[in-house]
């Protein structure tokens, strides 16, 4: 005997990324107009709560719409199941239900935590991304990857949950500490390396304007990075193949983040180091040449990003890559550039297994 449960369905989860300067003053009104929920639960961190969160909460009050805000201690160490559990329990206590909406207000950690909470609360409710850092605007707020870290691996517990909308208010960047601006530029450079040599040239030519937070320059960078990330996600939402190119710099990067207990290096710094390390692996495989690697290293250095591996020991770093969620069995897969603007593929596959011995040899020089 057999009972078949037919579950084939097609769901349109498309959404807009709104990139504007000056949008933050009417943000609550815009979100309410979208009709994403009856009540709104704002999740943020302790830094953003003080600088931006209270203003947004006041906007909802002015619009006579119920909104609550809960924060957690800023930093990667809060990106864990305990934080998600506390947030979900607070929502239950406040009476939030399936017709309500979560707002992720903050950087990448907040977006990941809030998005994951939205994906599991009452088996899934709406959420909206309001990124406040460059890294979140250009990368983590788009694509629907959500999750938390474990003691063993970064982002190892998570889900795909697409936001209903992303509001990138470029003026938020003006309140960023310079270190956070530099941190976010790592992902912008990554986008340039993997798909767009023209963007790479633009960053080289406009470095001073970028570091001075010129509004037109930053709006262009955010828009172009969102286009790159969005185009990749459209073609491969669940990271079956093409989306793996977005992991360039992240296999080694995540390993050194974990070995530093998520406190020694910011995510962007780790990715910067990872990009140079993985470019060296590409060279060891006969793909990338030294001139291209040096060009990437030089740009990262001028921005203020590191390129040198921390002194954890190469064998420890390589061992930690095996805990990466992208590893399968005993094989660790890497997305590797052939040159700036073009990623390597084998038989149409963009992530390839690389032997530990090759990685060790590449990173030893």
Q: What is the pLDDT of residue 166?
A: 98
Q: Considering the candidates 47, 155, 183, 247, report the single residue annotated as catalytic.
A: 247
Q: What's the confidence (pLDDT) of residue 293?
A: 98
What is the mean pLDDT, run by run of 10 residues, along the chain of 365 residues? Answer: 87 93 94 98 97 96 98 96 98 98 98 98 98 97 96 91 97 94 98 98 98 95 97 95 97 96 94 98 98 98 98 96 86 97 97 97 93
The single residue of 161, 190, 191, 254 carrying the catalytic annotation is 254
What Å distances lie between residue 59 and 16, 50, 169, 207, CA to CA?
Answer: 22, 15, 15, 35
Residue 6 is given by DSSP the state -
User: Would you call 267 a catalytic residue per the annotation?
Assistant: yes
In the prediction, which pLDDT does 325 show? 80
Catalytic annotation, pick one of 8, 9, 10, 123 = 123
Residues of the chain with CATH 3.40.50.1970: 17-175
Report domain 17-175's class. alpha beta
pLDDT at res. 8: 84
The one catalytic residue in 49, 68, 239, 257 is 239
Catalytic, out of 229, 280, 297, 344: 229
User: Is position 247 annotated as part of the catalytic site?
Assistant: yes
| 191 flagged as catalytic | no
Question: 318: closest CA among 271, 354, 270, 276?
Answer: 354
Q: Is residue 250 annotated as a catalytic residue, yes or no?
A: yes
Task: Decide if 224 is catalytic.
Answer: no
Any idea which fold 183-213+244-363 has? Dehydroquinate synthase-like, alpha domain (1.20.1090)
Q: Which of 49, 126, 145, 180 is catalytic?
A: 145
- 229 classed as catalytic: yes
Residue of 243, 280, 320, 339 marked active site: 243
Q: What is the DSSP string of 150-183?
A: -SS-TT-EEEE---S-EEEEGGGGGGS-HHHHHH
Measured between alpha carbons, how far is 293 from 171 in angstroms, rounded to an integer?
A: 33
Which is the catalytic residue, given 79, 154, 224, 267?
267
Residue 123 known to be catalytic = yes
The verdict on whether 254 is a catalytic residue reads yes
For residue 326, the model assigns a pLDDT of 79
In 3D space, the residue among 194, 211, 210, 214 whose CA is nearest the CA of residue 202 turns out to be 210
Assess whether 344 carries a catalytic annotation: no
DSSP-based three-state secondary structure for 265: coil
Q: Where in the chain is the domain with CATH 1.20.1090.10?
A: 183-213+244-363
């Amino acid at each position: 005997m057999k009972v078949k449960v037919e579950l084939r369905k097609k769901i349109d989860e498309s959404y807009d990324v709104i990139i504007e300067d000056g949008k933050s003053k009417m943000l609550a009104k815009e979100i309410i107009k979208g009709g994403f929920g009856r009540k709104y639960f704002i999740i943020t961190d302790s830094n953003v709560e003080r600088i931006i969160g209270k203003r947004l909460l006041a906007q909802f009050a002015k619009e006579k719409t119920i909104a609550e805000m809960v924060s957690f201690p800023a930093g990667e160490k809060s990106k864990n199941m305990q934080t998600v559990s506390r947030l979900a329990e607070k929502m239950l206590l406040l009476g939030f239900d399936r017709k309500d909406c979560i707002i992720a207000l903050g950087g990448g950690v907040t977006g990941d935590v809030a998005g994951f909470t939205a994906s599991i609360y009452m088996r899934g409710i709406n959420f909206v991304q309001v990124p406040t850092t460059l890294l979140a605007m250009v990368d983590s707020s788009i694509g629907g990857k959500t999750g938390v870290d474990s003691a063993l691996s970064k982002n190892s517990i998570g889900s795909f949950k697409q936001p209903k909308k992303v509001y990138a208010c470029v003026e938020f960047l003006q309140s960023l500490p310079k270190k956070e601006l530099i941190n976010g530029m790592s992902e912008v450079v990554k986008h340039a390396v993997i798909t767009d040599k023209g963007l790479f040239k633009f960053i080289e030519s406009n470095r001073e304007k970028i570091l001075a937070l010129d509004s037109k320059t930053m709006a262009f960078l955010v828009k172009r990075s969102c286009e790159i990330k969005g185009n990749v996600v459209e073609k491969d939402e669940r990271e079956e193949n093409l989306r793996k190119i977005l992991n360039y710099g992240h296999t080694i990067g995540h390993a050194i983040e974990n070995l530093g207990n998520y406190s020694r290096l910011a995510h962007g710094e780790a990715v910067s180091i990872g990009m140079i390390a993985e470019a060296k692996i590409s060279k060891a495989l006969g793909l990338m040449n030294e001139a291209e690697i040096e060009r990437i290293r030089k740009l990262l250095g001028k921005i203020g990003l590191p390129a040198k591996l921390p002194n954890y020991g190469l064998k420890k770093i390589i061992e930690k890559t095996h805990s990466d969620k992208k590893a399968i069995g005993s094989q660790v897969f890497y997305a590797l550039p052939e040159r700036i603007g073009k990623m390597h593929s084998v038989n149409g596959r963009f992530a390839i297994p690389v032997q530990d011995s090759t990685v060790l040899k590449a990173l030893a020089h």
